[in-house]
Amino acid sequence: MSSFIEIDQLDKIFPLADGGQYIALKNIDLKIQKGEFISLIGHSGCGKSTLLNMISGLDLPTNGGVILEGRQIQGPGPDRMVVFQNYSLLPWLSVRQNIALAVNEVMGNLPVGERKAIVNQAITMVGLRHAANKKPGQLSGGMKQRVAIARGLAIKPKVLLLDEPFGALDALTRGNLQEKLMEIVEENHVTTVMVTHDVDEALLLSDRIVMLTTGPEAHIGQILEVPIPRPRHRLEVVNHPSYYALRNEMVYFLNQQKRTKKGKSAVAPLTIAANGLEKINLNLGFIPLTDSAPLIIAQEKGFFAEEGLTQVTLSRENSWKTIGLGVAENRLDAACMLAGMPLSMTVGAGGKQPLPMVTAMVLSRNGNSITLNKKFQAKGVKTLEDLQRAIASTPDAVHTFAMVHPASMHNLMLRYWLASGGIDPDQDVSLTVIPPAQMVSNLKAGNIDGYCVGEPWNSHSVIDDCGYVVATDLDIWPGHPEKVLGVTQEWANKYPSTHLALIKALLRACEYCDDRRNREEVLGILAKPEYVGVPKEYISPGFTQPYRRNLEDEPENLLRYNQFFVDQGNYPSRAEGLWILTQLARWGYTSFPRNWVEVLERVRRPDLLGEACRQLGLPDFEPNRQNFSLFDGMVFNPDDPLGYLERLTIKRDFRVSEILIDEPVS
């Protein structure tokens, strides 16, 4: 069903007196159905009224747009009516005349009698027949607001826009007017968008409540469905079983935003080293894998130096455990990390001490496969269903599969893939952690039956004829985040300019790596002993050459198998991060954070990436905020992560608890 109103990738940027800019709203995506009542809530300054003004056409977005019934809103129009908190009535006109002014302006082509009838109907609708000839100075606040609502509805707008319409009224008047508004809106099927600070008002009136994060770069943090049937009456709403849970969810969201704003505050740098940067000598960690290319290319092509980072050392690490320890212990300034590591470290997964982390960019997407021992190929195992039957046919055998780290996408996708085929990854098979470079040797030795890892270690097994690829991540979740830039929150706050320079250099490298004209050169650099250190033939499948799943079948052209830049690939989507949090909780590595909005706001920082893009002259557009699904078709709704967790059939018992994110003690 097409949306009645569609707000598409809307940004609002205000110029500052010093020549800078203030990004008030960032990447607002919202679809509103005809007849729906939407409330916008958030702390003062989050851009609620600014968004309402752009729906009305009183202001225009800097980027993106608002579509009403298939047409872009480019200015005010009679199909939209705004009711302000200050009534906006002309004091020298009566109630009837104030309403008639709007009707005559919009419906001047109608006969006088028809227009009078419309005015009278509007006056009756809000219960003001007894005061029709009074002027605003003779009316109470509640009556004035009813006149404003009547004037708005009299012109029969398609959309009614309310900007805190009851904020200045006493409790009794406000309650009566809220009830009257519900009656009018429901009877006339008017699509309504309301700005409010009152959580109880939002729950009483709304079908959905859109909660905005604090600015700058305010965006939709969460959308709350209100499953309370209509028609509604205040006492029935308060006594509804969902009422207090929904109310608590809204209050909790607002409290999270207070903490998030405080946590994002950067401390002033103590010293400036050079080029306006606090620090120019960086030690960056990486694992010898194909998708470590952005760090390697940024070094080899001089992008680090050009951004002022003139003393960068790349530290080749043996395992993801040493990467995590290196960053935590400040031996490494930053690292190419597994997508789940910053979140895992922040929430203290696996019983570890929580360490607040920040990831401002995705370095690569895709690039993984699930490889099985050739013995399964001899049994005819070509699909997940085949594997499930093979495992079920040998109940006494222990089938061991390897992954590289509990927080890796390799582990989470391997588990998801197995569980989708009815294989419990903790009971039907055994999973073990092995560093990437040791996968092939363990497969050859018979220590493991298969693994999920990045390249070149899948192609290595295929070329050496000891394994075959049963599935790539393009079969499971195409476009998933794979490697990210990871730094501690303390480091990001201490070296903000250095951090931005690092992001810019890596963005340039990612763009370079995804230019197909550069791939052969990149391949030669990766093959060097100090980097990935394997022959080109192991790296080239899926990178510069068609991808081989086995030696028997024809290779496939997988142009997105290694993705570094295209399709807005560098944005650290909070929805993708939320999926990772659900999977960490699903398998018992951590509780699901009740304050997941705060965790994601603090850890995944597209605002920093956006600033880097703008400074480089690159487009600053985030992917749409939307539901998604993996290969099994189960829809992940980022506004209902617990509902998603509950629907998963194979999982461990999980808990929901608040994760405290505090700065480490220096």
Which is it for the CA torsion 33, 39, 45, 49, positive or negative?
A: positive
Q: What are phi and psi of 438, to 5 degrees?
A: -100, 0
- The 10 Å CB-count burial string (b at 16+, else e) for 116-126 is eebbbebbebb
Query: Which residues of the chain fall below pLDDT 50?
Result: 266-271, 664-666
How many Cα atoms occupy the beta-carbon half-sphere of 304 within 13 Å?
Answer: 19
Please write the tens of the pLDDT for every residue from 315-348: 999 999 999 999 999 999 999 999 999 999 999 9
Q: Would you mind telling me the total number of residues written for the chain in this entry? A: 666
Separation of alpha carbons 440 and 104, rounded Å: 80
State residue 102's pLDDT score. 84
Q: Residue ranges per domain, the chain?
A: 5-79+157-264
Q: Please give the single-letter amino acid code of residue 231.
A: P
Please write the tens of the pLDDT for every residue from 86-118: 778 888 989 899 888 888 888 888 898 888 898
What is the CATH superfamily name and number for domain 5-79+157-264?
P-loop containing nucleotide triphosphate hydrolases (3.40.50.300)
DSSP letter for 58, please: S
State residue 566's pLDDT score. 95
State residue 157's pLDDT score. 84
State residue 266's pLDDT score. 45
Is pTM beyond 0.85? Reply is yes
